[in-house]
């Protein structure tokens, strides 16, 4: 029996495709030992509004030329960003069918904010995965020995996790060396983010690449039906 593993950096309130990748594997390893990148999905995502897409960005503390790891990136707790995010979501989704159920739950996730971005992301990811009824085991790369560099490190983590199949997002095609995985007895599968069904959505033309909160607020308990791999 095959064991499927994905290794992915944590994102802030990511889109449905992130959770679909999670749903497609047995173990989903949060890989926050790599460098934090600016203007990326680690600390921000988008929601729909009547005026178009709006960014929700978590302010972070960075050192020098952004050389710290994601797990070492602190949140700037001196600004009311969490209240601003919740206000923006409430303002733009108050007409969503499942606002009354989902919004209080979402607000509760922002109580007693942790100091680090990785901690916040993991809290939100675990809660959303549970809301979507995903059975995937969610772990952290710090639980494994970190050996080698780039592809070698990913293959090492996957092997330690007992993978027979390593599932990767398509963006890694430019750098992932599949032969490293083959040498360790694993195959590489490229995840396909196309072919998602549309669901009832507010504010104009349908947009797939928005935060999963859009799906939850609009579809409630039926949200997982719009993932291709929900079990």
DSSP letters for 158-205 = HHHTT-SEEEE-GGGGGT--HHHHHHTT-EEEE-----PPP---SSSS
Positive or negative, the Cα torsion across 197, 201, 207, 212?
negative
Q: Give the largest CA-CA distance in the chain.
A: 53
If you search the block for the tokens 């050192």, which residue do you land on?
63
For position 134, what pLDDT does the model report? 98
If you search the block for the tokens 């209240």, which residue do you land on?
83
| Structural contact between residues 223 and 105, judged by C-beta atoms closer than 8 angstroms | no
Which of 127, 138, 172 is closest to 34 using CA atoms? 172
**pLDDT beneath 50: ranges in the chain:** none
Answer left, alpha or beta for residue 180, where phi above 0 means left and psi between -120 and 50 means alpha: alpha
How many Å apart are CA 76 and CA 116, to the nearest integer?
9
For position 65, what pLDDT does the model report? 59
Token reading at 90 = 């409430």
For position 66, what pLDDT does the model report? 64
For 56, the 3-state DSSP assignment is strand
Alpha-helix runs per DSSP H in the chain: 16-23, 81-93, 99-108, 117-131, 151-160, 178-183, 212-219
């Amino acid at each position: 029996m095959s064991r499927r593993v994905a290794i992915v950096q944590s994102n802030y309130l990511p889109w449905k495709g992130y959770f679909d990748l999670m749903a497609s594997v047995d173990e989903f390893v949060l890989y926050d030992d790599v460098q934090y990148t600016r203007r990326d999905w680690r600390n921000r995502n988008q929601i729909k509004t009547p005026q178009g897409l709006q960014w929700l960005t978590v302010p972070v503390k960075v050192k020098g030329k952004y050389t710290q790891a994601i797990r070492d990136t602190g949140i700037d707790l001196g600004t009311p960003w969490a209240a601003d995010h919740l206000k923006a979501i409430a303002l733009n989704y108050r007409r969503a069918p499942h606002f009354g159920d989902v919004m209080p739950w979402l607000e509760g996730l922002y109580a007693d904010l942790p100091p680090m971005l990785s901690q916040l992301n993991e809290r939100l990811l675990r809660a959303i995965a549970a809301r979507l009824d995903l059975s995937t085991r969610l772990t952290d790369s710090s639980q494994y020995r970190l050996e080698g560099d780039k592809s070698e490190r990913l293959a090492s983590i996957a092997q330690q996790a007992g993978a027979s199949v390593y599932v990767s997002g398509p963006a890694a095609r430019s750098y992932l060396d599949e032969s490293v995985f083959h040498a360790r007895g694993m195959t590489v599968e490229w995840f396909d983010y196309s072919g998602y069904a549309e669901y009832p959505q507010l504010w104009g033309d349908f947009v797939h690449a928005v935060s999963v909160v859009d799906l939850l607020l609009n579809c409630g308990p039926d949200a997982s039906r719009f993932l291709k791999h929900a079990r």
